[in-house]
Amino acid sequence: MKPSRVPFVTLIVVLVFFYLPIGFLVMNSFNTSRYASKWGGFSTRWYDRLFERTDILAALGNSVKIATAASTLSMILGTAAAFALHRYKSRLQVAHRLLVTVPLVLPDILMGMSLLLLFVSVGMSLSLVTITVAHVTFCLSYVALVVQARLQDFDFNVVEAAHDLGATKMQAFIKVTLPLLAPGILAGGLLAFTLSIDDYVITYFVKGPGSDTLPTLVYSMIKKSKDLPVINALSSLMLIVTFAVVAVSQRLTRPVA
């Protein structure tokens, strides 16, 4: 009896479903008509308009600053966390693991709301700093997850060998462990960077007035129905960046043959 073809057809339908809206967006960014619903001819005027908008550039700057700080800090904290969770099996690690898991499962709105309430109750004013703190908190868990997966295949005998050859603990860590784990840590950092750049909900709750990131600015433009075609142009450019980042991270995480 022949296996059914239904699963493969479903797979193709799902892939088309995934890419159709993205294709629609890119197509519309070249649509000269102001109204996304009708094709009015090819033009790049929305791209020109995009580069005139200084507020978009400023928001992009904020996003990049926050993502850089958040991914760097979460790379350090997350890698340390992954080491501890991998190495030790104490009751402390049970609590540690639970806390690392919470940001992965907690709905964004609860994370944003709870951090907002914390900042308000301790009287911390909302700014780029509060956004960064929030981003580090959820990025940390993702980095820990990625690095932990790497540690599963890590051969600790290599570190033992370095010790036997006379390396101190610090030397062995810097010269052996870190370089071998670097691809995993960087992949975690890259994931953290994209998650930070992408985040809307948590940022919206903990941002102060005037500290817009790209997603919060785009959201308010959509809500006010202002310059919608410019958002299409912006989205298309962001897609290109995303594809580039995916390509780079594929290189990093590819198993070394």
Give the separation between CA 45 and CA 209, rounded to whole angstroms: 31
29 touches 236 (CB < 8 A): yes
Question: How far apart, in Å, are the Cα atoms of 135 and each of 99, 127, 149, 203?
Answer: 16, 13, 22, 8
Question: In the complex with other proteins, which residue's Cβ is closer, 117 or 161?
Answer: 117
- Which part of the chain contacts other proteins (CB under 8 A), choosing from 47-55, 130-138, 149-157, 177-185? 130-138
The encoded tokens of residue 50 equal 């995009």
Question: In the complex with other proteins, which residue's Cβ is closer, 58 or 84?
Answer: 84
Give the separation between CA 207 and CA 12, rounded to whole angstroms: 40
How many chain residues are in contact with other proteins, going by CB under 8 A? Answer: 83
How many CB atoms neighbour CB 162 within 10 A?
A: 18
The encoded tokens of residue 27 equal 């197509």
Question: In the complex with other proteins, which residue's Cβ is closer, 36 or 167?
Answer: 36
Question: In the complex with other proteins, which residue's Cβ is closer, 54 or 121?
Answer: 121
Give the separation between CA 229 and CA 50, rounded to whole angstroms: 9
Under rule CB under 8 A, residue 103 binds other proteins: yes
**Residue whose token pair is 């995916």:** 246
Q: What is the CA radius of gyration of the chain?
A: 22
Subset of residues 183 to 242 that bind other proteins, contact rule: CB under 8 A: 194, 197-198, 200-201, 205, 214-215, 218-219, 222, 228, 231, 235, 238-239, 242
Q: Which of 49, 53, 65, 96 binds other proteins (CB under 8 A)?
A: 96
Binding mask 19-58 for other proteins (x = CB under 8 A): x-xx-xx--x------xxxx--------------------
Under rule CB under 8 A, residue 60 binds other proteins: no
Q: Which of 94, 165, 246, 248 binds other proteins (CB under 8 A)?
A: 246
How many CB atoms neighbour CB 191 within 10 A?
A: 21
Residue 60 Cβ, how far from other proteins at the closest point, in Å?
A: 12
Under rule CB under 8 A, residue 102 binds other proteins: yes
First to last CA, the chain: 39
Question: In the complex with other proteins, which residue's Cβ is closer, 4 or 54?
Answer: 4
How many CB atoms neighbour CB 62 within 10 A?
A: 21
